[in-house]
Structures are given as C-alpha cells and as structure tokens.
Structure 1
Amino acid sequence: MRDKSYIWISFIVLIFGIWVVPKVIKKFEKADLMYMGTAPHFELTNQDGKTITSDNYKGKVYVVEFFFANCPTICPIMNMNMVKLQNAFYGNMNFGIASISIDPVNDTPEALKRHATELGVKNPYWYMMTGDGKYIYDLAKKFNLYTGVNPEAAGGFEHSGLFALIDKEGNIRCRKDEHGNPILYYDGTDDEAVEWLKEDIKLLLDE
C-alpha cells in the first residue's frame, strides 16, 4: 500500500510541476513588445497640489497623454478611453496614468481636481498634472508627441491624440505592425487602438 501511495503522490507532484513551472517561467518572460528608449523624466504638480515626478511611477506600467481640460474636440474621447483603461485595471496598484495639461494657465490644480471628479478618476496613480508651459511643451517634444498653441484652433491649442505606454522600468514600449515596424504610440481616439493598448498593458503587468 505504501508503494502505491508513493507512486500516486509522485504522479500528482509531476503533473502539478508540469502545469505550474511553465506559468512561473512565463511570468518572468519579457513581453514581445518593442523598446523605444527611456521615457523622459518629469516633475510636475498634480490635481492635489502635490509634486509628482516620473519616479512616482517606478515599478508601474503607465500611460501618458497630453491634453487640456477645456478641449472641445478630441480630449473628451481620449479621457473617456483613459477611464476605460482605469476601469479595466481597477484595483491593480501597478497601473497608473499620467495626464499632462498643455494649458497650464487655466488648468490649475484646482481646475484639474474638478475635471478629475467629473471624469470619475478613482485610480490613486492617475495624476492630472500641470506646470510651467515651456517645460511641458519641451517635455512633449522629448516624448515626440505634438503639442502647440494655435489661437485659430478649437480651444486655442493643438495636440496629438496619442498615448505613450511605459513599462515598469521606465521604458517606452509598443507593438509592431505586420511588417515588423514599431507602432510607436496608440491612438487614444480609436477604439481598436485602445483595445491593443489594453492587451499590451496586460502583457507588461505580467512581466
């Protein structure tokens, strides 16, 4: 009887090991997403009046956007898609969002606080940030994301609707197109691109 019990126990351990080990190994594999360099360092003020730097996102996967609260065109779509991402990863303390205003004169911490409340921001690491205008525009250039002042544009500003994806180690990451070329950023106004982003966030959270 003891011999049979030993055989069964060995069999169970073997099967368990075959099932678990690949999962453990996979957990520490790097996602098949391209590395596009280190994300620029930043230091800004959030909706609570606190100084936030890129170091606050260390160890987290996060998404960066440049927007402004009174934007009448693409920003409402971008922000609602950010809410979808927030809700998809709700409760995961390793996920964050960096929303950086390109209208710092009007987007004071108090104004951003109201905007965050209206949107339903619940993730404690979703910081809506403001600061010196020149600093913010220079930061956008470092990200290679277009921003600009244009009195003739709706709302007085222009910017891309793109989201940047940053991994836990502070690297900009992205997927490839069918030819193996990087799709550097994710269109924050496009439903399919947001679904891609959601998939890729999951991959980076599992790294």
Structure 2
Amino acid sequence: IDFFFTTCPTICTPMSINMSKVSEALSSHEDFRTVSITIDPDHDQPAVLKEYAAKYHANDHWQFLVGDKEATYKLSREGFNAYVGESDDEAIRFEHSGNFALVDRDGYIRSRKVRIDKDNENWIYHYSGVQENDIPAQLNEIIEDAETLLNK
C-alpha cells in the first residue's frame, strides 16, 4: 500500500514506477494486490485514477482507491503511521511519506528486522518506495517479504 496523488511534482512518479515493478514481480500470485490510495480526492476521481493507472501500466493486481479525505488522512496517519498533509507550498499542494507498507491476508502490517551493525538490529515497519535521503528504494525487500507471506 502507498499514499500518493496524481498531480504530485516530486516523489509520486518514482514511487509509482517502483510500485509497478512490485506489482509485476508478484503478479503470478492470484491473491496479491498492490494498492495506491490518493490523498487528493477532490481531483483524483475514478476517471483520473484510471488514466494514471494506464500511464504506469498498472496490471489487474494494482488497485487505485479514492475516498473521503479525512478518513484517508486518518488511515494514513493512524493506520499506517505514514505522514500525509496539505502543503503551504502551492506548487506541491500535498506532502506525504515515500514509503510502502506490506499488509498480510489478516490485515496486519508486516515488517522485518534489519541489522544496523554487528551488535544491533532494528525493525523496519515500512519499505522505502523511492530513494530518499541516501536510502535506496527497498523493492527487493518488499518483494521477498511478500513472497514469503504468499507462500505460507
């Protein structure tokens, strides 16, 4: 799952390219879905989302959703601990996390431990959906973890 908007001038393009790669890599699993939820429901109506999906060659496993703005923001912030908000910068209009979340069949967000150094491990709860602040997109990790869940 990711949160995006179709008129985003910054990270949404690389995020959508990467989500397309994840969706394609896992398309052989009938019960796998990628889900992109817009944070701009006033503009991103179903016809706009359909056009956006075609632009990124979305397959049948990639769903684009639009809903009530307050409910979407609450879902992002409280359900996924992912920042979304309106920007004071008119050129940007919205701000949001560049992360992807992996959700299992039971609706739980899944994560993995990563080694920070030889003595310490850390949990990552989200996967970087775009290279940001010298952190590369974690496409291989989310694909591997999704395959693990799908093969259970």
Normalized against structure 2, the TM-score is what? 0.88
Q: Tell me the distance in 1 between the aligned counterparts of 2:52 and 2:91.
A: 19
For 1:22-72, what per-residue CA distance to the aligned partner results, in whole angstroms no more than 9, with x for missing partners? xxxxxxxxxxxxxxxxxxxxxxxxxxxxxxxxxxxxxxxxxx100001111
Structure 2 residue aligned with 1:202: 147
Identity of aligned residues (%): 39
**Is 1:134 equivalent to 2:75 in the alignment?**
no
> RMSD of the alignment, in Å?
1.4
**Is 1:187 equivalent to 2:132 in the alignment?**
no
Q: Tell me the distance in 1 between the aligned counterparts of 2:37 and 2:30.
A: 20
| Distance change >3 Å, CA 88–CA 129, structure 1 → 2 | same
> Mapping of 1:80-99 within 5 angstroms?
80-99=17-36
Structure 2 residue aligned with 1:75: 12
What is the Cα deviation at residue 153 of structure 1? Answer: 5.9
SS at 1:95 equivalent: coil
Q: Which has the larger radius of gyration?
A: 1
Counterpart code for 2:62: W
Query: Any conservation in 2 of the 1:73–1:154 contact (CA below 8 Å)?
Result: no
SS at 1:182 equivalent: strand
Q: Tell me the distance in 2 between the aligned counterparts of 1:153 and 1:185.
A: 28
Q: Tell me the distance in 1 between the aligned counterparts of 2:93 and 2:137.
A: 29
Structure 1 alignment gaps of length 5 or more: 1-63
Q: Tell me the distance in 1 between the aligned counterparts of 2:64 and 2:51.
A: 11
Which consecutive segments of 4 or more residues in structure 1 shift more than 2 A?
none
Alignment size in residue pairs: 143
For 1:137-182, what per-residue CA distance to the aligned partner results, in whole angstroms no more than 9, with x for missing partners? 1111121100000131643000010111011221111111212321
Structure 2 alignment gaps of length 5 or more: none
What is the Cα deviation at residue 192 of structure 1? Answer: 4.9
Q: Which structure shows the higher helix fraction?
A: 1
Identify the match of residue 47 of structure 2 among 102, 110, 128. Answer: 110
Counterpart code for 1:133: K
Structure with more contact order per residue of length (Cα contacts < 8 Å, sep ≥ 6)? 1
SS at 2:113 equivalent: coil
